[in-house]
Structure 1
Amino acid sequence: MPYYLSQVGYTPESWAAQIRNPQDVRERVGRAADAVGGRMESAFYAFGTHDLVAIVEFPDDAAVAAWAIATAAGGALRSMTTTPLISVDDGLNIMRNAAKVTQVYQPPK
């Protein structure tokens, strides 16, 4: 299954709710991923632009999109970015194929 990097920023109201009632985000978000056949591999709180980053695995782009839309619709997030990840092996194959393309591609002149 494909992997994705999810980066979120919480609203101040969401932080306040989490301070009042701390809960394991892996359980809450993991159950949401399970609902569409995905799973949360790992999650980390972070400093800076993003408050939480997670590596998640989903069957396809449609499943991760459904998960992202549903979690964003909950109102706890001020931002969310979900990025498809490419394995190193797939990346190497992509570069080999790119080399083939560069042999025939002609940029505009």
Structure 2
Amino acid sequence: MPIYITQGRYTREAIKGMLVKPEDRAEAVQRLLAKVGGKLIGYYVTFGDYDFLLVAEAPDNTQMAAALLAAGGSAGVTDLKTTVAMTSIEAKGAFAAASDIAPGFRAPGGL
């Protein structure tokens, strides 16, 4: 399954709510991902531009997008940024495939 890395921010309202009633958001994220056939690999609270980072597996981009849209629609998170990640083995395969097709590719403006 593809691996996704998502960063995001909690809304001010979500932070106020968690101050009153602290909770482990990894559990909620795991349940959400399970509904689309995915799996939470790791959930981290972070310092800096984003409040959290999660690493997850999902069957495909459509299912991961569904989970992200559901989370974003909850009004508890904002500024979601997701990156698709490849293992080093998958990247090696991509480089091998690129080496086969690269000689036939003409760069823009190239002759």
Match of 2:97 in 1: 97
- With the length of structure 1 as denominator, give the TM-score of the two structures: 0.94
What are the ranges of 5 or more consecutive residues in structure 1 without an aligned counterpart?
Answer: none
Match of 2:21 in 1: 21
Deviations for 1:37-94, whole angstroms, at most 9, x for unmatched residues? Answer: 1111111110111100000111111110100000000001121012111111010111
Q: Which amino acid aligns with 2:16?
A: A
Q: Which amino acid aligns with 1:106?
A: R
Structure 2: distance between partners of 1:33 and 1:13: 23
Deviations for 1:2-44, whole angstroms, at most 9, x for unmatched residues? Answer: 1100111111111111111111111111111111111111111
Q: Percent identity?
A: 26
How many residue pairs align between the two structures? 109
Structure 2: distance between partners of 1:27 and 1:107: 48
Map 1:57-72 → 2, pairs under 5 A: 57-72=57-72
Map 1:67-86 → 2, pairs under 5 A: 67-86=67-86
Q: Which amino acid aligns with 1:71?
A: A
Task: Give the aligned CA root-mean-square deviation in angstroms.
Answer: 1.0
What are the ranges of 5 or more consecutive residues in structure 2 without an aligned counterpart?
Answer: none
